[in-house]
Amino acid sequence: MPRIQSRLAMAATAALIALPAAASPPSAAPTPPMGWNSWNHFAAKVDDATVRAQADAMAANGMRDAGYRYINIDDTWEGERDAQGVIHANSKFPDMKALADYVHAKGLKLGIYSSPGPKTCAGYEGSYGHEAQDAKTYAAWGIDYLKYDLCSLGDQMKATGSLDKAQEIELTAYRKMDAALKATGRPIVYSLCQYGVAQVWRWGGSVGGNLWRTTGDITDRFSRMTQIGFGQAGLSKYAKPGNWNDPDMLEVGNGGMTPIEYRTHMSLWALLAAPLLAGNDLSKMTPDTLAILTNREVIAIDQDPAGHQGDRVHAEGPLEVWAKPLSGGAKAVGLFNLSDQPSYVEVSYAAVGFKTPVKTRDVWAAKDLGAKTSYRALVPGHGVVLLRLGA
């Protein structure tokens, strides 16, 4: 999917970083959203039947019971606007309201995609100049989540030839849709897809975002996943209930990584309190993939109600230790080995805030290890040992 890379867009957005991060209502996303998004696996091939099949699978395979709720349609659903300017879905989605009703009947929620620019990333109709109309249409359909993707708004910003005017365009665009969504009276999670340009984590909440992309697009490769995930170091103070840093969707199960690498992916996203949006075909999963996506203890780390994002504790070459504070004084700790070969990784619990021995549990092994003051593990290449320390 083409993405905005304009230098002017980056410079204009830089002026926003001093804005106070006024939080959106926590009730919209009190914990990081969990669900599925169509783009990573289906891209432009998504259609009504595909979405229904994903909803069927999520409801039946244990994902819904594990906390996954959103079925999100990404780009290419858009049709034309009628004479009154109302957006309609294209022929791939003959009745969006009926689709929403179907998804809701499964105990799930439906998400949709648009852009603050005239066109989406794939060249379909965006929401520029039609924000209130589109928000009303989404609410009437029964939409519960909006991914708002910068895309062609960058062209609008560049055309001004002025950084001040470009900044005004971007601020106005995000705030217009935020106001339009709120005016519908329907709770709709507002996801900004802005690629981390100009430290969006500092100001995403001030324009109404419940979550905001902190990175460029993920791909189903270990090198790209780790570049994005470990690149989140230092951002933990900007995440809290209702406002989440988003390092992009999960690639678990799409085939480009091994099961060990996918466990590393899932562990890192959980430590980051990242949205957990599966990007595979839920109707055709291996048992390994389903087990990774539905591991209750890993999900509990991601969804911990205190809402803290984890951060790097230590790094030495390809070996990293990350920790996330949990409710009740517990900590989740990840021991990561980014090299190709097995290696020992060690953590002193004093480094993560424990001065006395604490209960230690290996999360993926589902094994209690007793009370300890440190832990040393042989971690496979590209692998992780995920610990829960304390209560």
Question: According to the model, what pLDDT value does residue 18 have?
Answer: 40
**Domains assigned to the chain:** 7-302 (3.20.20.70), 311-389 (2.60.40.1180)
State the chain's maximal CA–CA distance in angstroms.
70
Query: Please, where are the H alpha helices in 191-307?
Result: 222-230, 259-271, 287-293, 296-302
For 332-364, write each residue's pLDDT tens digit. 999 999 999 999 999 999 999 999 999 999 999
Alpha-carbon gap, residue 270 to 301, rounded angstroms = 6
Residue of 134, 149, 220, 302 with catalytic role: 149
Crossing angle of helices 163-183 and 131-141, in 10° steps, is: 30
Residue 268: helix, strand or coil by DSSP? helix
Question: According to the model, what pLDDT value does residue 6 have?
Answer: 40
Q: Is 217 an active-site residue?
A: yes
Alpha-carbon gap, residue 350 to 348, rounded angstroms = 5
Q: Is 372 exposed, middle or buried (0-12, 13-18, 19+ CB in 10 A)?
A: middle
Cβ atoms 301, 271 nearer than 8 A: yes
pLDDT in tens, the chain (391 residues): 444 344 334 444 444 434 443 444 457 899 999 999 999 999 999 999 999 999 999 999 999 999 999 999 999 999 999 999 999 999 999 999 999 999 999 999 999 999 999 999 999 999 999 999 999 999 999 999 999 999 998 888 888 888 778 777 888 899 999 999 999 999 999 999 989 877 889 999 999 999 999 999 999 999 999 999 999 999 999 999 999 999 999 999 999 999 999 999 999 999 999 999 999 999 999 999 999 999 999 999 999 999 999 999 999 999 999 999 999 999 999 999 999 999 999 999 999 999 999 999 999 999 999 999 999 999 999 999 999 999 7
For 69-96, write each residue's pLDDT tens digit. 999 999 999 999 999 999 999 999 999 9
Cβ atoms 137, 96 nearer than 8 A: no
Angle among Cα 294, 75, 257 to the nearest 5 degrees reads 40
Report the Cα–Cα distance between both ends of the chain, in Å, rounded: 44
Question: According to the model, what pLDDT value does residue 26 have?
Answer: 52
Residue of 56, 217, 288, 362 with catalytic role: 217
- Of 179, 192, 212, the closest CA to residue 115 belongs to 192
Alpha-carbon gap, residue 198 to 12, rounded angstroms = 8
Q: Is 311 an active-site residue?
A: no
